[in-house]
Structure 1
Amino acid sequence: MKALKLAGAAILGTAIALAGTSLASAQEFTFKLHQMLPATSPAQKNMLEPWVKQVEENSGGRVKIEIYPAMSLGGTPPELVQQARDGVVDLIWTVNGYTPGQFPRTEVYELPGVFLNDIKATNLAMYDMFESDLKDDYKGLEVMWLHVHAGQALMSVDKEVRSPADTNGMKIRIPNRTGAWVIEALGAAPVAMPVPEVPSALSKKVVDATLLPWEIIPVIKAQEQIDYFIEGNDQTRFGTTTFQVSMNKARWEGLPDDIKKAFRDASGRDWWAKVADAWRGGDDFGIKMATDAGKTHIMLTEEETQGFLDALEPVQQRWIDEVSAKGLDGAGLVSRAKEAIAKNAE
């Protein structure tokens, strides 16, 4: 009997070992996805991880995607695009504006007056315009998807803001150059920095306020340093930020068609829309955290909101003039982006 038990244990052990070997061999393609925020951030939990799981399932277990959060593979957030282009990593999630001037066509969706408050319509507009208008921005990369966040709201440390005049003289953190133009149009001083640097800048009074969506509140514990959370009427925001999840082009081109299909099927139009839902949910959760902490959420009146939009109107023309000087159809891009967003609005 003892011999039978030993034999059975040996067989079981062999079966487990073979299963492990089979699983390991099934994962023929391993990818490193590098991103800037903590593993606990809504962006990773509600967006990156579900997408990774779907790609892996689509591949029948042949693909394994390892997420490296908080720049754990080295470098700084502005280096992510080059890390992907150089093949240092396989995949990235990053803010386009951290590398100014490299994604000029896509930048149109960041402009105040182009983006107002509809994440889903904006994501779908980028999907619809990608092949015809945006693709040339992404040389050396294979785009999985693009998205925006809920838009630039103003988080002010200790000053209530209800008009452009209230921002005069303030130092305000911005995420991208279009954000800088927004701040300059309001008569404030822009201070550029990636999200991970914001908490320290706030605590040291390097900045008086920051442009960010509410989604980031729990990530940087903004409710501990900021008293006023300000947005326009009907959740209108002062522009937004564009993001990308992209793969090194050479790595992509070396993949077999069925593995490419696993990625493409997980990154279709429906996914671009679901990403918007994730960011809207994260935004609602973030502002609730701030108000539960006793902080003030200001939603401007229609008249106050229009005052900001009027002050920011020159930002569009500034962008059109700059990209047109570089040979792009700036006015046409603005017009087509607005039409595409309106077409996709719910």
Structure 2
Amino acid sequence: MKRRTIMKTMAAAVLASGLAPGLAAAQEVTLRLHQFLPPPATVPKHIIKPWAARIEEATGGKVKFEHYDAMALGGKPPELMDQAIDGVADVIMTVVGYTPGRFPKTEVFELPFMMTNPVATAKAFQELVETDLQDGEYKDVKVLGAWVHGPGVIHADRPIETVEDMEGLKVRGPTRVINDMLKELGATPIGMPLPAIPEALSKGVVGGTVIPWEVTPAIKLAELVHNHTEFTGDEALYTATIVMVMNKDSYAKLPDDIRAAIDAESGQKLAEFAAQVMWDHDKPGRDIAVKAGNTIIQLSPEQVERFKAASQPVIDRWVAEMDAKGIDGKALIAQAKALIKKHGG
């Protein structure tokens, strides 16, 4: 075969692969990113994929992220953290509380009425990760970002205007702490990951759920329930903690320039960006419910205080549980509140 024919054959093979010769040579690393939300949801569409694209651009195409949404690599949402540890995925995003009791210090940010400003709370969470939790309860992974969502809202098949209205209502909750709060408020909590909510509501397994407005369009919640209870005042009813973490070996073996590019887009930058994007997307979710003619209930300050009082035993129990683990629960609450205030909350 003549040299010209050989070169044509090689060029055709490269083009058939869909890669230009320069790009084929430049790419060095492929990272599998696994998470539980559908592609149109706020977090994958407006947070994770833009974050990954910035890193790909910064490295000149040396790294490529393969996105596996909605548990496309298999398993269930509570398994995501172990998938990162075991290397099933290189990077995962998950709600920390999907693995109850495993990350006890993180739970401090999920306590009732702990969160004020979600961006400030996210930055507080990220700072606690960097100064304590990375070497403690997250020692088996590399934390790329830690954040929280916007104010939690009660969405139900009946109006919730007082604490008494919660009595006997089966409510989906995302985490151990939040389920304990729902129980204390008189509801029957049923824990399940977010993707299970639509089926549970449509089949009557639950009559309500607590989630922020931001994610409601992804599961068409305004079509499933028609009453939405918001909490006025400076503190939110609750929030949930979210992390994006990387397999430690995958992170360690990255070329220095790629690791630096990932670091530059992670940490506090990612925490602030993710929390702000989720908070910004609360309004579009709420607007859908308003347009549908659903009932939006805003609790009076007096009713909010009654919910706070009813939730206090949850905080007291959590402090006792932390003390039993050798963690000073009251000191951790004070530290979390101080960090939130430090970051503008």
CA distance in 1, matches of 2:234, 2:194: 22
CA distance in 1, matches of 2:228, 2:25: 51
172-181 vs 231-240, which moves further: 231-240
Equivalent residue, structure 2, for 1:150: 150
1:195-214 alignment to 2 at 5 Å?
Answer: 195-214=194-213
Deviations 1:279-308, CA, capped at 9 Å, x for gaps: 111111101111111111111111111111
TM-score by structure 1 length? 0.92
Q: What is the identity percentage for the equivalent residue pairs of Structure 1 and Structure 2? A: 40
For residue 237 of structure 1, report the CA deviation from its aligned partner: 2.6
1:165-184 alignment to 2 at 5 Å?
Answer: 165-184=164-183
CA distance in 1, matches of 2:235, 2:330: 23
CA distance in 1, matches of 2:112, 2:315: 7
Point out where structure 1 has 5 or more consecutive residues left out of the alignment.
1-9
**Could you tell me whether the CA contact under 8 Å between 1:113 and 1:313 is conserved in 2?**
no
**Could you tell me whether the CA contact under 8 Å between 1:154 and 1:229 is conserved in 2?**
yes
For residue 133 of structure 1, report the CA deviation from its aligned partner: 2.8
**Could you tell me whether the CA contact under 8 Å between 1:105 and 1:133 is conserved in 2?**
no
CA distance in 2, matches of 1:270, 1:34: 21
SS in 2 for 1:245: strand
Distance 1:19 1:189, change over 3 A: closer
Aligned residues: 335
1:288 aligned partner, one-letter code: D
SS in 2 for 1:219: helix
CA distance in 2, matches of 1:169, 1:237: 23
CA distance in 2, matches of 1:65, 1:267: 15
CA distance in 1, matches of 2:23, 2:212: 41
Q: Which runs of 4+ in 1 moved over 6 A?
A: none
CA distance in 1, matches of 2:167, 2:319: 25
Aligned-residue Cα RMSD (Å) equals 2.0
Deviations 1:213-248, CA, capped at 9 Å, x for gaps: 111211110011111111111474321110110000
Equivalent residue, structure 1, for 2:95: 95
Distance 1:197 1:235, change over 3 A: farther
Are 1:332 and 2:331 an aligned pair?
yes
1:252-271 alignment to 2 at 5 Å?
Answer: 252-271=251-270
CA distance in 2, matches of 1:314, 1:133: 27
Equivalent residue, structure 1, for 2:309: 310
For residue 28 of structure 1, report the CA deviation from its aligned partner: 0.4
TM-score by structure 2 length? 0.92
CA distance in 2, matches of 1:140, 1:32: 18
Equivalent residue, structure 1, for 2:57: 57
CA distance in 2, matches of 1:121, 1:76: 30
1:156 aligned partner, one-letter code: A
1:33-72 alignment to 2 at 5 Å?
Answer: 33-72=33-72
CA distance in 2, matches of 1:291, 1:313: 32
Equivalent residue, structure 2, for 1:139: 139
**Could you tell me whether the CA contact under 8 Å between 1:182 and 1:238 is conserved in 2?**
no
CA distance in 1, matches of 2:89, 2:233: 40
